[in-house]
Chain A
């Protein structure tokens, strides 16, 4: 034991028992570390870890928030995949949403960050602000509601009528042909968030000697520079932005909820998250809502794994 204490810094333990002792000893030595982390970890556990983990058992129960959860096995999932048409539709909507606000918005924010980086410093600051501003004003959906309002006073209607594109005002927020498109546009509008900033900063961070070396090696234009130097050296930022984008695009739902309401005409913009809200908060079927969330979480983790794997060659 005494030897272990002195060896704590230098040697790694040899057999299993001393390894356990060693770990316990290190925990004792580093008590202060755990105390420093305690406030964060406590709140993090209560409000992030527990909600995520609790979905797993709850998904197999029937739970109405008043009585004790009743174990029902897989019946939530049978109902979800076999008889819930709205859920099937919401998967489809979420996937459409995810494609547009995920990869599309990701590539868009990358391109925008790249283009902004090619500009003069003053313009850089200006454009960064312009593109980041909408994601700071997410509570201001009302502007879009009024811009898109169904009568001819809605700005977009008035503009299009004036141009002669339309003869009569479009019901942007209630016509099934437009709802999904409108929600995607608004989601795109607010999607240049922290990931975009990370990419923007990533461009600035690249060692400029890399570019000089590239120029000597015969790189001629922006495109070659982008694909041969910039992207390979931005792996960590690309991954960070991707993680944030996955989370944002899979859990998209606030936009359609605020813009067109839940439920709305034919549920054409009803995402998985809206579906979970509907069951969890409106009908108090928490077990069923957990099952929906569980499906969503698993999908998110799988996509995350996939992207980490795809970008792993750029991340060292």
Chain B
């Protein structure tokens, strides 16, 4: 399995060597174009990282510089200081963010694996219908339904609890869809063999199918994690000790220009986890997304 992962890119190299249609001039043009657009994409992130390491006298130099002369970590220690002067210590927000993200991610993977296995590999009344529903549901992401979601959560009485942050993000159509696409490539004979050996559906799913789905699971982890991590919690959770990092970052940013370095430092802290998770699992993601097409 590990070998196969590398192969996807290697195949392309071999093909590139033989490729008649690619011209060298074209390659260079493409490279330059990608670099220019790429600079636009990373510039804000780069700028935030740079600013977060600038000492106060460099932060307000006109015109702003794109490099640091005397890098300092003072902004980060200031951040901790600002944080400790808050009503609730910063560690609590970090804990909330990690707790919510991890719980959402674990539940999301578990729930999606179970449902995706059944939808992809079992024949039962309603299967075709549910598959159609999932494809349509890809349209209705939480950004479309969150206003009315609030109503549902209020009715359930979970507003202002951790549940409000966790429950709505668990059953994502996107996660189920990707998992189903990936699982449908598994050969039926493997499942048949397990059935003959007397394994129940749950055991087949978790001991036979899921161990072969590492790329898809990594992809789900990335999507679920970044979704939960970036979620603004201020509107569904009012108690200060339940809020997560993005909300707090807005509050710190709202303190204005005097805390600019701290703002940048917080935003770097906020950006890092999803970026690291993605970087680690990149090749897995590409493998999963290869199966992502909607076929019917």
Contacts and interface: CB of A to CB of B under 8 A. Distances in A.
Co-complex (A, B)? yes
Interface of A: 23, 26-27, 29-30, 32-34, 36-37, 39-44, 46-52, 54-55, 58, 65, 112, 115-121, 123-125, 127-134, 136-140, 142-147, 152-153, 155, 158-159, 161-162, 189, 192, 194, 197-198, 200-202, 204-205, 208, 211, 215, 219-222, 224-225, 234-240, 243-244, 246-248, 250-251, 253-254, 258, 273, 276-277, 280-281, 286, 289-290, 293, 296-297, 300-301, 304, 315-316
B279 interface: yes
Given A115-B33, A202-B292, 6 more contacts: A129-B282, A137-B274, A140-B267, A146-B260, A198-B293, A300-B139
B264 interface: yes
A120 B168 CA distance: 40
A153 B119 contact: no
Contact of B253 (A30, A46, A142): A142
B264 A146 contact: yes
Contacts of B257: 153
A297 B230 contact: no
B interface: dominant SS: helix
A248 B19 CA distance: 36
Contact of B47 (A155, A273, A281): A155
Contacts of A243: 135, 138-139, 294
Nearest to B168: A47
A46 to B, nearest CB: 6
B293 A235 contact: yes
Contacts of B263: 142, 146
A82 to B, nearest CB: 23
A219 B21 contact: yes
Contacts of B140: 48, 52, 247, 297
B23 interface: yes
B94 interface: no
A238 B135 CA distance: 14
A197 B285 contact: yes
Given A197-B285, A281-B235, A131 B267 contact: no
Interface string B119-133: 100111100001000
Interface residues of B, number: 111
Contacts of A41: 115, 130, 171
Given A153-B257, A208-B11, A243-B138, A36 B290 contact: no
Contacts of A147: 44, 47
Interface of B: 8-13, 15-16, 19-23, 26-27, 30-31, 33-34, 37-38, 40-42, 44-45, 47-48, 51, 60, 62-64, 110-112, 114-115, 117-119, 122-125, 130, 135-145, 147-152, 154, 156, 167-168, 170-171, 173-174, 176, 200-202, 205, 223, 226, 229-230, 232, 235, 245-246, 249-250, 253, 257, 260, 263-264, 267, 270-271, 274-275, 278-279, 282-283, 285-290, 292-296
A51 B151 contact: yes
A136 B109 CA distance: 19
B234 to A, nearest CB: 11
B111 A211 contact: no
B287 to A, nearest CB: 7
Contact of B171 (A48, A120, A246, A286): A48
A interface: dominant SS: helix
Contact of B267 (A43, A143, A238, A296): A143
A192 B122 CA distance: 34
Given A132-B278, A225-B21, A142 B63 contact: no
A209 to B, nearest CB: 10
B293 A36 contact: no
A315 B296 CA distance: 7
B20 A125 contact: no
A43 B139 contact: no
A214 to B, nearest CB: 8
Contact of B38 (A39, A130, A240): A130
A72 B100 CA distance: 40
Contacts of B60: 153
Given A48-B145, A129-B278, A140-B267, A208 B38 contact: no
B107 to A, nearest CB: 8
A194 B289 contact: yes
Contacts of A142: 249-250, 253, 263, 267
